[in-house]
Amino acid sequence: MIFTVAIDGPAAAGKGTIARAIAGRYGFAHLDSGLLYRAVARKALDGMSAEDAARGLDPSDLSEAGLRTAAISSEASRVAAIPEVRSALVHFQRAFARSEGGAVIDGRDIGTVICPEAEVKLFVTASPEVRAERRWKELTGSGADTTLDAVLADVHERDRRDAERATSPMIAAEDALQLDTSAMSIDEALAAAAAHVEARLPR
């Protein structure tokens, strides 16, 4: 069965949590496309050009430790705005999305650019303040020394870059179900997402 669930939205909105849960519930493969850009960002921070890093990316690069630090998050947003980087990673994502057995991909442009033919599209969002607090708790919980104000400023900056970049800006697909998780529990968000998927699964 070829069945793609495309989940887009800004950082810390909950799309990754929803994507992993949907993949687990239906036995679909899952790809966090942000890891592709984080892996490229890590190589770029190590001195490689972002374009070369994207062209030579290996699946094993996605499992490296330390891809979710604040520095890599910021660099990932920067390299994701480079057209040559995005182009190099398109084929990888499209092949994954249409692989046999079903797939869930979360990112910024999955439903609009990578897989516009996806059977299910979700756009998961939340207010910048809520997202910043979630991200701050995640970072400080892992030992990072940062402030909520600094994280909020980073959220605003990442949103601006993601929305204003010339190539594949972050926008909701016209046929995407929009989920604002600002005031939703995880269970409520998952229930809404699962109901949308369920309605579109082949009978």
CATH number of the domain that residue 49 is part of: 3.40.50.300
Percent of the chain scoring above 90 in pLDDT:
71
What is the average pLDDT value for the chain, to the nearest integer? 92
Any binding-site annotation on 11? yes
Q: Is 16 annotated as a binding residue?
A: yes
The answer to whether 59 is annotated as binding is no
Contact 88, 51 (CB under 8 A): yes
Crossing angle of helices 148-164 and 70-79, rounded to 10°: 10
**Is the C-alpha dihedral spanning 78, 80, 81, 87 positive or negative?**
positive
Assess if residue 45 is contained within a domain.
Answer: yes
9 among annotated binding-site residues = yes
Tell me if 10 is assigned to a ligand binding site. yes
pLDDT tens-digit series, residues 45-74: 999 999 999 999 888 898 888 898 888 988
Task: Look at strands 120-125 and 177-180 and give their pairing.
Answer: parallel
128 in a structural domain: yes
Q: How far is CA 49 from CA 41, 77, 174, in A?
A: 9, 15, 35
The whole-number average pLDDT for the span 36-40 is: 94
Compute the average pLDDT of residues 18-34: 94
Annotated binding-site residue? 50 = no
83 is in an annotated binding site: no
Range of lowest pLDDT (71-75, 121-125, 195-199) = 71-75
Distance, C-alpha 168 to centroid of its chain: 13
Is 145 contained in some domain?
A: yes
Do the annotations mark residue 146 as ligand-binding? no
List, for residues 162-176, the tens digit of each pLDDT value: 888 877 888 999 999
Query: What's the CA gap between 174 and 177, in Å, rounded?
Result: 9
Is 44 marked as a binding-site residue? no
In a domain, 133, yes or no: yes
156 domain-assigned: yes
Domain that holds residue 46: 4-198
Asked, for residue 110, whether it belongs to a domain, the answer is yes
Number of structural domains, the chain? Answer: 1
In a domain? residue 136: yes
Q: Determine, yes or no, domain membership for 203.
A: no
